[in-house]
Every structure is written in C-alpha cells, then in structure tokens.
Chain A
Amino acid sequence: MSERQVELEILRYNPETDDEPSFQTFQVPCPEDWVVLDAVNYVKDNLDRSLSYRWSCHMAVCGSCGMMINGEPTLSCKSFLRDLPEKIRIEPLANFPIERDLVVVMDDFMDKLGSVKPYLVPAEQKSVENGEYLQSPAQLKKFKQYTLCINCTLCYAACPQYAHNEGFVGPAALALAHRYNLDSRDVGRSARQDVVASNEGIWECSFVGACSDVCPEHVDPAGAIQQTKIASTVDYFKDLLLPGRHR
C-alpha cells in the first residue's frame, strides 16, 4: 500500500509546565487509507508518549475523538488523510477549556446534558409484566433522528452562540430535550421547558446552523431548536389567550 509523508502540527499544552499552548510538529509516514486518528496514534506510539487525547471505538460511534482538524470540528476517526492536504493542523475542540493537549474539560457539557431532563417521563407507570408501550413506526420516525446524537460535542465547538455565551444550553442538549418531547410515550415536556425555553435555552440560538453542518450523525440540532421555538411560541400565545391552561 502506498504511503505518503504527512506533517501534523499538534497543539500541545501541559498545565503543570506550560504558560500557554504551543504547536509541535511531527512527520508521520501514512498509508493511504489512514484516518487522522491513526496518524495521531502513530505519534503516540512511536514519536512522543506524552501526547494526550481521547479515543476508543475508531468507528464514529463513541464520540470521544473530536478535534479541530484544519480549523473544523471533526471526529478524527472519520477524517480521512486522503481528503486532507500534506500539512494538518490539529487542535483541541474550540470553545472548551483545555485540560491537557487535545483533551478538553467536559464538565459544562455534561451538566447541560443532564439539565434538560433527558429521560422518558411516562403518562402512567406501567409494569414490565404488562408489556411494551405501543409506538408505530411513524411515531418512532418523528423523533428517531434526534436519538442519534453521540455526544461528541463538535456542535458546541462550532456554535458561535456558545463561543459568545457559555451559559447557552447548546445544540446537543436542546436536541436531546426535543427528542424526548417528540416521543409518543413521553409527557415530560413542561418539566423540560424551564431550561429549554429559558433565556439561555432555545432563544439564545441565532440559527446559523453551524451545529448541523458539523454533526457527524446528521442529527440536525439547528432544526430541533427551530421546531422547539415554534412549539414554545405556540405555547406562549395559548397561555396569553387561554390563561390558566394546563399544559
């Protein structure tokens, strides 16, 4: 298999020794079918054992290995060298604090994911002995797309609103709330509205759509947020016209 030499410029930062991040360059001989993650693994195994980054599945489903690759938030396991120039710049995901090298601090994202109550709130508890809730393929299809988020946080790295206001609940968490709101088995929407329809929720989104552009699973969080806005606006006018209405 033919090989080519690739130059990786990797942003390095060790908080124990460095005042600020700086780039380090590595020359890596790469077979033509490699992804960026393979090249980074080559560096780790052969050139510099101290390089830190997250990865696991190598098949774009665990969501660990997001990086800025030539300025774009990308899963490094699905970013093929054949589609990239000889020089590749690799940085940690934008809009997150750097913990070490390509590892970013995930706390804020994890808190936001939990804040939208992303779990099923059934109308009535059913025992397992009574079998499953029925749900037609059409009802499933209504929310299925929004179940596909792998929590890779590329959308937060791409989001201009999150860059500007870290209080913004953000694309993945809002899309997940939307997923449960749309589920025919769920009645938890009003409990989620506190966060979803707050000032830091859907109204903060300016619908640039960068989140949907970078989403490796085509979840379309921008679309989810737009749909949520419409539903919340309908709520608002209903409340105005029908005060005391129970939602």
Chain B
Amino acid sequence: MEMITTDIVIVGAGGAGLRAAIAVAEANPNLKIALLSKVYPMRSHTVAAEGGAAGVAKDNDSLDNHFNDTVTGGDWLCDQDAVDLFVEQAPKELTQMEHWGCPWSREPDGGVAVRPFGGMKVERTWYAADKTGFHMLHTLFQTSLQYPSIERYDEFYSTDLLVVDGQCRGVAAVEMRSGQLRLFRAKSVIIATGGAGRIFPFTTNGAIKTGDGMAMAYRAGVPLKDMEFVQYHPTGLPGTGILITEGSRGEGGILVNKDGYRYLQDYNLGPPDPWPRKKAMELGPRDRLSQAFWHEAQKGRTIDTPHGDVVHLDLRHLGEKKIDERLPMVRDLAISYVGVDPVHDPIPVRPVVHYTMGGIDCDIDAKTRLNGLFTAGECACVSINGANRLGSNSLTELLVFGARAGRGAAELAESTGSHADETAIREQAQTAQNRVGKLFQSVGGGESVSGLRREMNTTMEAGAGIYRTEQSLSESCAVMNDIRRRFANIELEDKSNVYNTDLVQALELGAMVDVANAIAVSALNRKESRGSHQRLDFEDRDDKTFLKHSLAHYDANDDPSIDYRDVVITRSQPGERVYGGDQK
C-alpha cells in the first residue's frame, strides 16, 4: 500500500471541504493539504442547492432576528452558542464569497440582493438567481486553484480513518482509477462528505450522498448526533424528486390543493392574505409544510398521479419576466422533467427527503471527540439546525464551519511535532484492507448491492418518514438490523480493479446501512414530536425529557446504544413555534 504523507487530509471537496482547504492555505501556505473526494469537486452535491444562503445583510435586519428565526425553526434543539457564532460569521463569509467572485444577484445600486425564505422574519437570503449552490461551489473550486498547497486527489473513495494512540492520523482511500488502497498520513483530518439522503428512495439528493464520512467517523467511535431529524422538503417533482427551490415561494409562489385552495391556512400558517408575508403560509418552515401535505393527503385533498399524490405550486402570477430573471432553472426543470411551463401552468410537487439535520457530533470549533478529527457541512452536527433546518442556512453553515474546521485543523497540524509511525499507520489500515478485500471474496451469500439497497430504501420510507410510530420504527429497526447482518453476504459481481463502481456502491451501501440503522434507532427512542421528527403516538414536544441531543454510539454487531446530552440554551427559552397570524 502506497503511503502519502501530508499535513492535513480533507475528505470531501464540496462546499465545506473546499472552504476548509482555502482556510488552511490562507492560514499557513506551508501546510500541505490532501483534498480527497470520490468525485471531481464540481460534482459535489453543493452544486444542486438552489435558493440561497442566509446572512444578515440589510439595515432592517439584525443578528438577533437571524438567531431567533434559526432557534425557533429548529424547535429549540439548536445549541444557542453555535447559532450565535453562526449568525455573526454569516455575513462575513458571504461577503468573502463575493470577494472571490461569486455572481450574487444584485440590487439596482450594485449591492447584493436578498430574498425572503421560509421561517425567516426578514429577507436575508443571498442568492445567485436559483443556482446559488452551483455558483458557490464553482467559485470555491476555482478560487482553490490558486493555492499550490492544495493537492487534490479526485476520485478517491475514503474508507477508514486511521487512528493511532487515540489520535486521528490519516485516512485510507481507494484510488478508483487503479482500484488500489492508498494511505494518507496526516496531522489532522477534516470530514466534509455531505449528507445521506440516498438512504431514502425519494430524495432530492444526488447519487453520491451516501453518508460515507458519517459512517467513517461513527465506526471510529464518534457518535452520530440527532440522526432522527431528517428533513422533507415540501416541493420536489414527482417521480424524480428534483428540487424546486423554496426561493419559488420566497418570490411569491403559492401552494394549492386539488380544489385550488391554499390549504396551509388550515394548519396554523394562515391567514392567506395579505400575501406575500414573511413566516406565514408558504413561507412557513419546511417541517410544517411537509406535515401539512401529509394531512391533506389523508383527507383526500391532494391530486393523485402515477408518481404519488401531489399539490400544485403556482407561480403564474409572478409573470414570465420575473420567473426568467429569478427562477430560470426552476422553469427549465419543470418543463423538462414534468412537462409543465410554470409561466402557464402550476407545477406538481410533493415532499421529498432533502437534508439530514443530524450528523457527526462536533463542537462549535468543528472538533469531534476524536483528537485530530474535525468535521463540517451536512455530515456534521454542530448543532445550528436543531430539529428542523431553515432553508438557506445550510449553504452558509458550510462556509462558516468549513472555514472554522480548516483553521482548527491548521492550528493542530502546526502544533503537532511528528507524524505517526509508519508501521502503526499500516497496522491501522489493515481494517480497511480487510473490508475491501472481503467484498472481492466468494462468499456464496447471494446478496446484491442493488437488492439490499432497495430493501433499505423501502423500510426507511415506510417506517421513518414524515410521521412515525413505535410500530413503524420497530419494524424499520428490525429490517435494518437484518440488512446489516446480510451485508456480510454481499459478493461483488465485478472483481476488476479499474473504476469498479460495483465496489464503490457496495462501500457506499455499507455506510448507508450503518447510518440508516442509527436514524431508525434514534427515532424509535425519541418518544416525542419535535420539528421534523413527528410521532403519531407521542404528538407533543416533551422538553422535560427530550430537550436533549441524541447520541448514537456504533456497535459493529448490534443496534447503536443511545444516550443524551443537554441542549445549550443561552438566551432563548423553549416556547411555542408561532407562524402565520397577521402581525408580521
């Protein structure tokens, strides 16, 4: 096994990984960075984010407003020290993106434009038409090209953290081009691998979002925090799950049921007029909107299609000019994938799995409890999103905490004297070698990657969807346990070395089944309803017992054990989440 020695390894080259890499390069150009990704950086799923990135921008807004919206939106499961830091850093990071060339949409006076977003009291979402994530990712990637200390390892699939004497000292990764396992020895490691939406069958997430980094940290003993909180975005296209941005509603779009009725007014989000109005109706938070859809479907007031029930997102009143200026991609996607031109007809939409609020447990410095390991972006849980993330907070999060992870990792690398002993690194890598090697062996178990993946998708949607019960979650837990056991019987059909996607998909599935198991067990144990986690058998929020973060601890042979940690409350005591009303 070839060993590459560097100072800092970053796993994942999406928004958070690239931001971290640039932060390291700027902090100390003498530090060598190995930036690993299973795809080329421009393919990372940050690219698909549409609506915008939140940060206080105008005089009519304040950091307190952004703080309160975020904490309320997260149903008080956010750590308030982290949120304070986040809202304070947000405008600086977004301005930094501007300085690096990000083509933010502009006001007539040349200042950066902002749009309203769900659950936000004041318009503070910076946007680049409806391709904000795309522009941020490409800006970061292109900016990163000017730093010679960032050495990219594109299409390297990271399998394991290498831990020596309780310190994270490197990563093992399969070079996809050769199929060979490579060892990266470093003084600090950052995981920035994104979410795990592909655990579910109907998701906005690209094929690459398989929880790889979450599983790596989890197996190395870092708990996964608040995994039961999975966000359904209220407006995905039926069939494909393609995201139609919340920016559509930010610009004034409305949601109607089969009778053309703005049904959100029946779910404590109204009254419908005057419209548009912040923090009301279609500009309520995503959890409430997706839950309202579920109830409409129960009442038979949604529209039946071959790809499931839908409601209509109506943008017609915005007019062609505004749609083309602010929402050009939405128009293109709707025309291409559902044959509807939103200038002339409403877009059929339904809730779709979008985001994992939970992730690798870390502190506000992006540090995990494993020395030497940092994490940022969707794979991490710092926790600013609590039980429900507000739209446009995640693009900002990956900047704020990506930069922070980079600076922290740089400081640690600078203060760490020598590298880990090569023999020790190689010993650690044996686990990775064995796991990859085993997939190539004939086990005669007859399990296939695609077969097991389908079973996982089915049980997670059935048991751990928008509404959950003891029974549905117990069933999911049992099935996931069975799938984890049967995973050992997977035998690759493709036993070649060069760009073996059967191998990569098997490794991805291995990550997903461990993470899915953590989701189901965490959800089963949280006997309350909060944010995106809704239990039909425990309908109320229970602050007495569950104003706490769940921590799932990995067990190779059994369900994870779950324990809890208090939420950090500094200045906002838990209260009622009020949306709608006519005061706003």
Contact = CB atoms under 8 A, between A and B. Distances in A.
Interface residues of A, number: 65
Interface in B213-252: 239-240, 242-243
A148 B138 CA distance: 9
Contact of B450 (A45, A60, A64, A103): A45
Interface string B57-98: 000000000000000000000000000000000001001101
Interface stretch (A112-120, A205-213, A227-235): A112-120
A170 B12 CA distance: 28
A48 B154 CA distance: 26
Given A49-B450, A126-B99, A140-B105, A150 B494 contact: no
A135 interface: yes
B113 to A, nearest CB: 9
B206 interface: yes
Interface string A129-153: 1011111110110011001111100
A126 B96 CA distance: 10
Contacts of A54: 39, 43
Interface in A157-195: 176, 180, 183, 185-186
Interface in B85-139: 92, 95-96, 98-101, 103-112, 131, 134-135, 138
B533 to A, nearest CB: 27
A137 B134 contact: no
B294 interface: no
Nearest to A186: B101
B182 interface: no
B206 A58 contact: yes
Interface stretch (B264-272, B427-435, B495-503, B569-577): B495-503
B305 to A, nearest CB: 10
Interface string B305-337: 010000000000000000000000100010011
Contacts, number: 155
Interface string A46-57: 101111111111
A49 B502 contact: yes
A185 B497 contact: no
B333 A59 contact: yes
Interface stretch (A11-19, A20-28, A196-204, A239-247): A11-19
Contacts of A44: 450, 501
A3 B581 CA distance: 48
B206 A62 contact: yes
Given A57-B45, A128-B95, A49 B492 contact: yes
Interface stretch (B142-150, B183-191, B345-353, B545-553): B142-150
Contacts of A185: 101
Contacts of B450: 44-46, 49
Contacts of B48: 57, 59, 61-62
A45 B496 CA distance: 17
B90 to A, nearest CB: 11
Contact of A50 (B92, B242, B494): B494
Given A1-B306, A49-B492, A100-B499, A128 B96 contact: yes
A14 B99 contact: no
B interface residue count range (under 10 / 10 to 19 / 20 to 34 / 35 or more): 35 or more
- The residue in B111, B239, B494, B501 that gathers the most chain A C-beta atoms within 10 A of its C-beta is B501
A175 to B, nearest CB: 13
Contact of A52 (B99, B306, B448, B501): B501
A99 interface: yes
Contacts of A140: 103, 105-106
The prevalent SS among residues of B at the interface is: loop
B493 interface: yes
A221 interface: no
B138 A147 contact: yes
A99 B498 contact: yes
Contacts of B239: 33
B494 A49 contact: yes
Contacts of A113: 145
A54 B135 CA distance: 22
Contacts of A117: 145-146
Given A58-B240, A59-B48, A128-B92, A120 B108 contact: no
22 contacts: A14-B498, A15-B498, A57-B47, A59-B337, A62-B206, A64-B39, A101-B499, A118-B142, A120-B100, A120-B101, A122-B99, A128-B92, A129-B92, A131-B95, A132-B111, A133-B99, A135-B106, A136-B106, A137-B105, A148-B131, A150-B134, A151-B138
Given A62-B44, A63-B42, A106-B154, 16 more contacts: A16-B497, A45-B450, A48-B493, A49-B448, A56-B207, A57-B207, A62-B48, A63-B47, A80-B336, A106-B40, A119-B142, A129-B92, A132-B98, A134-B111, A137-B105, A137-B107
